[in-house]
Each structure stands twice: as C-alpha cells, then as structure tokens.
Chains A and B, each alone.
Chain A
Amino acid sequence: MKSNKTTELMVGMFIAAGAAALFVLAMRVSNLSSFSAGDTYHLTARFENIGGLKVRSAVTVGGVNVGRVTKIDYDSERFQAVVTLDVENRYNRFPEDTAAAIYTAGLLGEQYVALEPGGSEEVLKDGSQIELTQSALVLEKLVSKFLFEKAAEGEKK
C-alpha cells in the first residue's frame, strides 16, 4: 500500500473521474442538452392525421429546432388530433397565418412538425391556434391512391 496521502489523492481522483464520466454521459450522450432551458409558450394545431408524431417530437422552422411537441390529444367532436407545441420564447414573432405541417425526416426517420411563417402583421400568442395545417403523409394512402389512378388510366384506354 502506498502512503496514506497518495492513496487518498488517487481515490479522490477516481471518484472525480467517475462523476465526470456520469456527467459526460448525461450532457454529451443523452438528450439532456437538448432540453430547452429557456421559457416556452404554447401553440395548438389541429390535424386530420398525425401519422407517427409523438410527444417530444421536434418543432422546426426552416429546419431550425425551435421547440417540442408536448401533448397530443383527440377531439372526439371534430374528429381531429389536437397537438400542443411548446415553442421557445425567443421565437415569439410568428405571423398569425403561420402554417403547420407534419413531415418525415428521411425515408424512415422520425416525424416532426414544420412551421411555415405567413405574411400577417399579427403574431401568434401563448395559447393561440394554428389554423392552416397539413396532415402527415400516410404511405399506404399514397400507394393506394397511386394504384387507383393507374387503374383508372387503364380503363380509359
């Protein structure tokens, strides 16, 4: 056994290294760093179909991440999905006629909500609803539509 001071020093360094490794795992590897620290405000949007959108999916404008989906509900009177978006406060100047669409990142990627700013003078406030929405693309619907059109073309000839 080494002298007592060296032992204590090395044990201290060992514990510090372990704590540092945990810190690296938390900050560098996990999604902790992508939690927005700043304040947020809520927007809602109604979609006919949200596809594979999940809580915590990204909200982007022009490809820039500005917030997250925090709640997904179903309105059984209007038969629509109600999606609550949490947008960071520093992005609070979206025009009232901003449109929301659900897109897919890559062919098999995650789905996210993309906002497209309009030209109105009024801006969206906390709790406002986005009126212009475009549902998620469902691959099966697309394929069946394509096949149906092909079949219709065939009948005409």
Chain B
Amino acid sequence: MLEWIRQLGRSGISQFETLGRANLFLLKTLVGLPGLLRRPGLLVAQLWSVGVLSLLIIVVSGLFVGMVLGLQGYNTLVDFGAEESLGVAVALSIVRELGPVVTALLFAGRAGSALAAEIGLMKATEQLSGMEMMAVDPIHRVIAPRFLAGFISMPLLAAIFSAVGVYGGYFVGVGLLGVDDGAYWSQMQDKVDLFDDILNGVIKSLVFGWVVTWIAVFEGYDAVPTSEGVSRATTRTVVYAALAVLGLDFVLTALMFGD
C-alpha cells in the first residue's frame, strides 16, 4: 500500500518536473528568437520543411472537408427548403472550427512528428552535444528557428485550408447540386463576421501553432537518446498535440463564442 502511494508520488513529481522543464525550455527558446534576425536563412530553411512541405496535405484535406460539408449541409438543409444557406453553414463551420482544428491535427501529424524525430535523432547521435562543445547553443541554433517556423506556418496553413474548403463547398453546392451562385456568397457575406468569426479562427490557429510546435520541439529535445526513445517521443508528440488542440479548442470556443 505504502509502496503504491510512493509510486503515485514519484510519477506525480516526474510529471511536474517535465512540465517545469518544458516551460524553462520554452523560455530559453523565446530568448533565442531575436538571434534569428541575424541568420534568417535558418528560419527560411525550416519554413520550407515545416510549411511548404505540409501544403499538399492541407490543400487536399481542405478541399475534401469543404466538399463533404457542402454535400452533408445540402442534404440536411434541402429538407427545410433552406439550401440557400449552404454558404453560411460551410463557411462558419470551416472558419470557426474545422479550419484551425483539422489543420492543427494534420500539422501535428505531418510537421510535428517530423520535428520531434529530427531533433530526437540529433540528440541520439550526439549532434546537439557536439554543438555545445563548439560553444554553439543548440536551442538558439536548432530549436528556435523550428519553433518560429511552426508558429508562422500554422496560421498560414489554416487560412489556406479555410479558403480552399469554402471553395470546395462551393464546387459541390453550386457546381454539382445546383445551389444559386449569388445566394451562396451573399448569404455567407451577410452572416460571417470579419472579427467574430474570421479573426477568432486566426487566433485559434495561432494558439494551436504555438502549442503543437512547442510540444514537438520539446518532446524531441527531451527524448531519451535511443532509437526507442525517439520513437516514443514522436508518438507522444502526436498524441499530446492532438489532445492539447482538442482541449484548447473547447476552452477557446467557450471564451470566444460562449457569451
């Protein structure tokens, strides 16, 4: 019994230690960000691997999510003779929820896991220690550009996802199912508010980008430097990032739209 309680305490302490390490790590990363001004090349290279290479999956998923919403929304709305509101239904669900959330989940799977594996392997092959030996701070040189690249890429990807999704819904609703072209856009413009809906979606994607990238680079940096440790870090990145995104999404939605 006593042993069991001690184990509970030990795991609790280690959880708190990890949390503390993660926060100190974030602080060091943020301190390292201004140094990037002198070496923008590092950031550009990361924007390429984190942002540009995620583009394909984001565009394709956005298109299909929009098309499915168009189809489902039409089938539901046509029962009430309200298929003209399809544009509103598609735009609001994508801009407020699906755009930021699905992008963040895909981003965690596509870019987050890659970041964690890359940094974890760097640690396992002692590249990070090598940098320290040469008096190069690996947090400034390796972590900071990756963190900033994730934070910049995520809102851009979410915006692309939303825009493509709205056009996917347009393609199915107007192109295939025969909703009126003008009604689709005018009802949408009437009901979607720039600040209440679109800006809040952008804020969500900024928060998700921050959290997902933070989890990814921390898990990679904190990985046990073995092949098993790296594989665990990658798995944990995707799982924790997905849980964090969905949990935070509820909190943010309650704060933004809950009144």
Contacts and interface: CB of A to CB of B under 8 A. Distances in A.
Given A21-B162, A25-B163, A14 B55 contact: yes
A7 interface: yes
Interface size class of A (residues with CB under 8 A): 20 to 34
A28 B185 contact: yes
Contacts of B45: 1, 7
A13 to B, nearest CB: 8
A8 B156 CA distance: 16
A11 B52 contact: yes
Contact of B192 (A17, A21, A31): A31
Interface string B152-174: 11011101101110100000000
Nearest to A17: B160
Contact of A18 (B41, B155, B185, B193): B155
B156 A25 contact: no
Give the most central of B163, B164, B191: most A CB within 10 Å: B163
Contact of B162 (A7, A17, A25): A25
A37 interface: no
Interface string B166-197: 10000000000000000001001111111001
Contact residues of B: prevailing secondary structure:
helix
A64 to B, nearest CB: 13
Given A26-B198, A29-B166, A15 B189 contact: no
Contacts, number: 87
Given A14-B47, A30-B193, A30-B194, A21 B159 contact: yes
B41 A29 contact: no
Contacts of A8: 44
Given A18-B159, A21-B159, A25-B162, A31 B194 contact: yes
B97 to A, nearest CB: 14
B44 A25 contact: no
Interface in A6-36: 7-8, 10-11, 13-15, 17-22, 24-26, 28-34
Given A18-B157, A22-B202, A26-B198, A4 B41 contact: yes
A15 B156 contact: yes
A48 to B, nearest CB: 27
Contact of A31 (B49, B95, B189): B189
Interface of B: 41, 44-45, 47-49, 51-52, 55, 91, 95, 152-153, 155-157, 159-160, 162-164, 166, 185, 188-194, 197-198, 202
Given A11-B51, A29-B162, A30-B192, 8 more contacts: A13-B52, A14-B47, A14-B156, A21-B160, A22-B163, A26-B198, A29-B166, A110-B190
16 contacts: A4-B41, A8-B44, A11-B47, A17-B156, A17-B160, A19-B159, A20-B163, A21-B159, A24-B166, A25-B163, A25-B198, A26-B198, A29-B188, A29-B192, A31-B189, A32-B194
8 shortest A-B CB distances, which residue pairs? A18-B156, A21-B163, A21-B159, A30-B194, A21-B160, A22-B159, A11-B47, A24-B163
